[in-house]
C-alpha cells in the first residue's frame, strides 16, 4: 500500500477498446488501500506526474488496525470520505452529456466553482470517461455561453 505525498497517481484499468479507464485519482493520500486484505490488486497504479510516495507495509498496517482503536477509527473515517467521493464519481460517470459531467465535477470536487486540473485536460477527459476531443468541445461551448472560463489549466464557473 502507498501514500502519495506529492504528484499524482491514478488507479486504472484498460477498457474494452484499449483505452485507459481511470478508477481513482490521488494527489495526496492513500492509493491501493483496498489491497489491505487481498493478495492481488484489480488495477494498475500509474504515476501521472513526477510523484513521491511512501510505501506502507500491509502486514504492519493490519496489526495497527487490530491493536489501536483510535488509529482504526481515523482509518475508517478516511475510508468513509473516499467512499463518498467515489459515489460522486460513479454518479458523474452515469451522466449522459460531457457538459453535465464537467459541471458536476467542478461543483462537487472543486472549491467555490474553481477546479484545478494540474494534469491537464487529456487526463481529466479519462477521469470523466470521455474523449479529450469531446471535453475540449464541451469546454469551448460552455466558454462561448459565458458559463465557464479557463485560466492556467484551471476551470472556473462563471457567477451569474
pLDDT tens per residue, range 18-57: 887 888 888 889 988 887 888 777 789 999 889 999 999 9
| Architecture of the domain defined by 1-66 | Sandwich (2.60)
Residue 67 pLDDT = 97
The residues of the chain that CATH labels 2.60.120.10 are 1-66
The pTM (predicted TM-score) of the whole model is 0.71
Choices 3.30.1330.10, 3.40.1010.10, 1.10.10.10, 1.10.150.130: CATH for 95-160: 1.10.10.10
Percent of the chain at pLDDT exceeding 70: 99
The secondary structure of the chain, three-state, reads: CEEEEECCEEEEEECCCCCEEEEEEECCEEECHHHHHCCCCCCEEEECCCCEEEECCHHHHHHHHHHCHHHHHHHHHHHHHHHHHHHHHHHHHCCCCHHHHHHHHHHHHCECCEECCCCCHHHHHHHHCCCHHHHHHHHHHHHHCCCEEEECCEEEECCC
Mean pLDDT (the chain) is: 90
Amino acid at each position: 500500500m502507498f501514500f502519495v505525498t506529492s504528484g499524482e497517481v491514478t488507479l486504472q484499468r484498460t477498457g474494452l477498446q484499449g483505452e485507459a479507464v481511470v478508477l481513482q485519482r490521488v494527489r495526496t493520500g492513500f492509493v491501493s488501500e483496498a489491497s489491505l486484505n487481498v493478495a492481488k490488486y484489480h488495477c494498475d497504479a500509474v504515476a501521472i506526474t513526477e510523484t513521491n510516495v511512501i510505501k506502507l507495509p500491509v502486514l504492519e498496517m493490519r496489526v495497527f488496525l487490530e491493536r489501536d482503536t483510535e488509529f482504526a477509527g481515523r482509518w475508517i473515517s478516511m475510508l468513509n470520505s473516499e467512499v463518498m467521493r467515489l459515489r460522486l464519481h460513479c454518479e458523474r460517470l452515469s451522466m449522459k452529456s460531457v457538459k453535465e459531467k464537467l459541471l458536476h465535477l467542478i461543483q462537487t470536487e472543486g472549491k467555490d466553482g474553481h477546479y484545478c486540473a494540474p494534469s491537464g485536460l487529456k487526463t481529466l477527459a479519462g477521469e470523466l470517461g470521455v474523449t479529450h476531443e469531446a471535453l475540449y468541445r464541451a469546454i469551448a461551448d460552455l466558454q462561448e455561453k459565458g458559463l465557464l472560463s479557463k485560466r492556467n489549466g484551471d476551470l472556473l464557473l462563471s457567477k451569474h
